[in-house]
Structure 1
Amino acid sequence: MDQYLQIFVKVVEKGNFSKAAEELHMTQPAVSQYIKSLEEQIGARLLERTNKFVRLNQAGEIVYYHAQEILALMTKMQSLVDDLTNNASGPITIGASYTFGEYLLPHIIARMQHNYPHIQPSIKIHNSKEIIELVSSHLLDIGIIEGFLHNDQLNSEVVSEDKMVIVASPDHSLTNKPGTLSLAELAEETWILREEGSGTREAAENLFSSHQFTPKKIMEFGSTQLIKESVQAGLGISLLSHWAIEKELRNGYLGVIDVEGLPFIRNFSIITHTTFQTKAVKTFIETLREYLSDFE
């Protein structure tokens, strides 16, 4: 069945029998026969076909979603069996929220690849909510999110603290104002925040709630880099991780507003399934811990 599902997924991804056959090193009639046999086993037509493309129907969408999950589980199963006799190697799918994924993960992967070159990492960067969903669906082996997850099906472990500060343009009057400000004094400022579902957005809302503070104007952007550029340009202020602004502070592109009760502390956590972990996953976690311990 796994071969039928692999071929089906490839056809869906390519949207074309010929392209799928070429990548699978098969003939087009052979691919078509596999799809026909799969549809017979499932008991429903899965693809709508034209001369130029194929696309999923409603039944096909159900099968495609679960086929990805089944194939991911089979890959993990094989990796676990291989681990019994081999060193850390093979594929590992890692997901991370934007802050961790863009500013910390590349360095951790580089260290792991130097020490364990046979591990083959695949990286996905999404907001924390999407990472949790992908790990839950077995489409990721491990996720790194902002905050802590309470979930009976997944393990969650805090691995690092993140200090968050309020940043503004270096020319902003408040970046050079002596003394410590209260959050209430920033009520008239335009706040540039990440989208709903982002761990950085959740941290900002937790900060506001703890101070019983409501910004009068919020602009919502879907990228930390875009927020940094916008703050630097004087468009507004933002709450950002110290990991994300190290270079900007060092080069004088951003300034920190000294606010009472800050920095705001949040956690980075790793999430995995409660079932077995491959050596590749364990090795990645060990490498991550070693890297983060250098900053403690």
Structure 2
Amino acid sequence: MDLRLEVFLKVVEKKNFSKAAEALHMTQPAVSQYIRSLEELTGVKLLERTNKYVRLNKAGEIVYHHAIEIKELYTKMNHLLEDLTHKASGSIAIGASYTFGEYLLPRIIAEAKEQYPDIKPTVTIGNTTTIAALVLSHQLDVGIVEGHFKEVPELKTEPFAEDRMVVVACADHVLTRQQKSITMPDLIKETWILRELGSGTREAAENVFKQFSMSPQSIMHFSSTQPIKAMIEAGMGISLLSEWAIQKELRYGDLKILNIKEMPYTRDFSIVTRSPFQTKALSAFLDLLRRHRGLNDFKIR
């Protein structure tokens, strides 16, 4: 990778020429020279510099965005070349949406480490839209997401498993004691506690509301599933959640699935990749994932 780009990235990271020089084991004049050389190459100034700060200007933001991609591609190229003669090893950048990442991925990574001890996985958890974007920009090697996102030709999407979504309430909620089945429109006056826009779980809820032409009168939203479950347990409302996310609460009786005749609602987990060239480490991890396709052997007892 061009050393000028490496120096540029380090200056942006440290926001200071002296700290960047120290991290790179260079002199500050050498760092300044590399930045000047890069600016001469691009024909524009990239950094705004004062005695107090160093920050990107608009041109710098463009170069920084693509420099990150170049660095990721350069690293991946080296791993692919190393794989020609070595066994599965090295880093894998794995992304997952919250439901899969929090409740299923840890078991899969533990199995991967047992079978391939030289693999070094790093994990990013985010909503579906974020994970797909990170795979697209080469910052993640693979993503496992739920629901839909804006598909582009560069991304390969592979169906992986089905996820059942159910409406849940606290154990002593009046609706949990109702013997007859409930309909979705019966829940319009309830407070719905949902994930944020952009998450696959929120998309599922919006699809259910649209399917039954209902618009809840009260909605609260959180950026992860754990506080949603805590709010439901406290009797603050109901929610639509993945069965995978509530196994423990169902086992201990903290949450109950409401008897709604139109439920469950199903959605898909998908594997998302970009590069047609895969390191041995990534290929081994994908093979392991595919062996668990459907997740039938992952039922929580």
What TM-score, normalized by structure 1, do the two folds share? Answer: 0.94
Deviation for aligned residue 1:210: 2.0
The alignment of Structure 1 onto Structure 2 pairs a total of residues equal to: 296
Distance 2:273 2:205 in 1: 26
Query: Does structure 2 conserve the Cα–Cα contact (< 8 Å) formed by 1:204 and 1:239?
Result: yes
Deviations 1:101-129 (A, max 9, x none): 11111221122122212222222111111
Q: 1:139 & 1:218 partners in 2: Cα distance?
A: 34
Q: Could you tell me which runs of 5 or more consecutive residues in structure 1 were left unpaired when the two chains were aligned.
A: none
Whether 2:254 is the aligned partner of 1:253: answer yes
Counterpart contact for 2:147–2:201, Cα < 8 Å: no
1:111-160: CA deviation from partner (whole Å, max 9, x where unpaired): 21222122222221111111111111112111111125643221101111
CA contact (8 A) 1:157 1:270 kept: yes
Gaps of 5+ in 2: none
Distance 1:124 1:208, change over 3 A: same
Greater CA drift, 219-228 or 15-24: 15-24
- Please tell me the residue identity of whatever aligns with 1:151: V
Is 1:173 matched with 2:160?
no
Are residue 46 (structure 1) and residue 46 (structure 2) matched? yes
Distance 1:19 1:177 in 2: 65
Is the Cα contact below 8 Å between 2:101 and 2:125 reproduced in 1? Answer: yes
SS of the aligned residue for 1:158 comes to strand
Identify the residue that residue 28 of structure 1 maps to in structure 2.
28
Partner SS, residue 44 of structure 1: coil
Q: Contact 2:98–2:225 (CA<8 Å) still a contact in 1?
A: yes
**Range 33-42 or range 159-168, more displaced:** 33-42
Aligned to 1:75: 75
The amino acid across from 2:77 in the alignment is M
CA contact (8 A) 1:169 1:232 kept: yes
Give the residue type in structure 2 aligned to 1:125: I
Q: Counterpart of 2:298 in 1: which secondary structure?
A: coil
Deviations along 1:197-234, one digit per CA (max 9) or x if unpaired, are 11001111112222222212211222211111111111
Q: For residue 204 of structure 2, what is the aligned residue in structure 1? A: 203
Conserved in 1, the CA contact under 8 Å of 2:195 and 2:202?
yes
- Amino acid across the alignment from 1:190: T
Whether the aligned pair in 2 keeps the contact of 1:160 and 1:269 (CA below 8 Å) is: yes
Contact 1:148 1:269 in 2 (8 A): no
Matches of 1:89 and 1:135, distance apart in 2 = 20
Matching of residues 8-19 of structure 1 within 5 Å: 8-19=8-19
Aligned AA (2:99)? T
Rounded Cα–Cα distance in structure 2 between residues aligned with 1:237 and 1:62: 44
The yes-or-no answer on 1:294 pairing with 2:287 is no
Equivalent AA in structure 1 for residue 234 of structure 2: A
The answer to whether the aligner puts 1:278 opposite 2:246 as a matched pair is no
Letter in 1 for 2:245: A
Counterparts of 1:210-221 in structure 2, within 5 Å, are: 210-221=211-222
Relative to structure 1, the CA distance from residue 24 to residue 103 in structure 2 (aligned partners, 3 Å threshold; closer, same or farther) is farther
The alpha carbon displacement at 1:293 in A equals: 4.9
Identity %: 58
Amino acid in structure 2 at the alignment position of 1:223:
S
2:121 matched to 1:118? no
CA distance in 1, matches of 2:4, 2:289: 37
- Root mean square deviation, CA, Å: 1.7
Partner of 2:94: 94
SS across alignment from 1:95: strand
